[in-house]
Amino acid sequence: MKAIYVAMMAAAGIVMAGQAHADEALAKAKNCMSCHAIDKKLVGPSYKDVAAKYKAADVPKLADKIKKGGSGVWGAVPMPPNNVTPEEATKLAKWVLTLK
């Protein structure tokens, strides 16, 4: 029984790692990584800083900011609107919040 549990947990970890990698690929494809990095501030805040500030309940708010842009939360440099679908914006917001 323990072996089955360990195998299930390992499979879940592989799926989660693959999903996280795929969402990082989406961030790169949409040029998000031009202004953001996972663990350090570039033009915008690091994704880890964003994840520390927001909760899972904030996904719609973050997805809206990704889609439409925003200003004033992280400093004087505004984030421009991004050419993403609402689904992609939600996927990116959920991914960012996993980076705590």
Question: What is the per-residue DSSP string for 23-88?
Answer: HHHHHHHTTGGGT--SSS-SSS--HHHHHHH--GGGHHHHHHHHHH-B-SSSSSSPBPP----HHH
CA 100 from centroid of its chain's CA atoms: 10
According to the model, what pLDDT value does residue 13 have? 47
Q: Are 82 and 69 in contact (CB under 8 A)?
A: yes
| Paired tokens of 40 | 């350090």
According to the model, what pLDDT value does residue 100 have? 86
According to the model, what pLDDT value does residue 61 have? 97
Q: Which long-range contacts (CB under 8 A, 24 or more apart) does 15-20 make?
A: 20/95, 20/98
Confidence (pTM): 0.78
Backbone angles phi, psi at 26, to 5 degrees: -65, -45
According to the model, what pLDDT value does residue 51 have? 97
Number of domains forming the structure of the chain? 1
pLDDT per residue as tens, the chain (100 positions): 555 544 444 444 444 444 556 799 999 999 999 999 999 999 999 999 999 999 999 999 999 999 999 999 999 999 999 999 999 999 999 999 999 8
Domain containing 80: what range? Answer: 2-97
CATH classification at residue 53: 1.10.760.10
Give the span between the Cα atoms of 38 and 71, in whole angstroms.
Answer: 20
